[in-house]
Amino acid sequence: MRILIAEDDGSLAQALACALRLAGHEPLLVRDGASAQAAVERDTFDLVILDLGLPAVSGLDVLRHVRERGATVPILILSATAGVDTRVRSLDLGADDYMVKPFAVAELAARVRALGRRKRPQATDIERRGSLAVDLCAHTVTIDGRNIVLSARELSLLEVLLRSHGRLVTKNQLVNHLLSFGGEVGKNAIEVYIHRLRRKIEDAAVRITTVPGMGYCLEMDQLERLPH
């Protein structure tokens, strides 16, 4: 799952990200409430792990904002407050689960698995654009039924572009997206990955358009729409 972790305690956030990455998930870290709101608005997540004590914008305000937008992403609350009132308020605002700090990482991982099972009623989640089909659960790509081999980072970028089909995705957004894989990622690396993606999906009825100085956009190939 792609998981947003909104936690201002750097050590805890890194520990959670490491544990989730080892479990096969794709975590993205933010340190304040404003960044958490922006991340949910610009991207798609399978789960949000949200600390209530965030700076700038509180976790409760982030929770309220996400639900008011109509987003149904599961939200797991983390809090140093064990009081019943705070638990009840969080659940009433739309939280799916609540954990009190300190907690065992193994228990959090189990709750993440439970929320993941609750979210997925179907075995597959396939995005189609023209002859291109991406199975977001199985992480496979086909063009006219033919399997296309992509690296993990290439596939991750393609999924982001698919979810934002027809809309600009900036280089900074793509860099931040790939930071969850670990290691250094720069804008030059993004250009390399995009170049490889273009080459590998060139037979599909889609194209990755460059918006100079800004980013990229996945669009249907207009040539494919012309009558023969």
% of the chain exceeding 70 in pLDDT: 90
The CATH number assigned to the domain with range 2-119 reads 3.40.50.2300
Confidence (pLDDT) at 76: 94
Instruction: Look at 225 and 133; give whichever has higher pLDDT.
Output: 133
Overall average pLDDT of the 80-99 stretch: 88
Q: Which CATH architecture has domain 126-225?
A: Orthogonal Bundle (1.10)
**pLDDT score of 226:** 37
pTM, rounded to two decimals: 0.55
The per-residue pLDDT for 156 is 83
Q: What is the pLDDT of residues 17-72, one digit of tens each?
A: 888 887 888 899 999 999 999 888 888 888 999 999 999 899 999 999 888 887 78
- In the predicted model, is pLDDT for residue 174 greater than 60? yes
Domain extent listing, the chain: 2-119, 126-225
Q: 3-state secondary structure string, the chain?
A: CEEEEECCCHHHHHHHHHHHHHCCCEEEEECCHHHHHHHHHHCCCCEEEEECCCCCCCHHHHHHHHHHCCCCCCEEEEECCCCHHHHHHHHHCCCCEEEECCCCHHHHHHHHHHHHHHHCCCCCCEEEECCEEEECCCCEEEECCEEECCCHHHHHHHHHHHHCCCCCEEHHHHHHHHHHHCCCCCHHHHHHHHHHHHHHCCCCCEEEEEECCCEEEEEECHHHHCCC
- Each residue's pLDDT tens digit, 57-76: 999 999 998 888 877 889 99
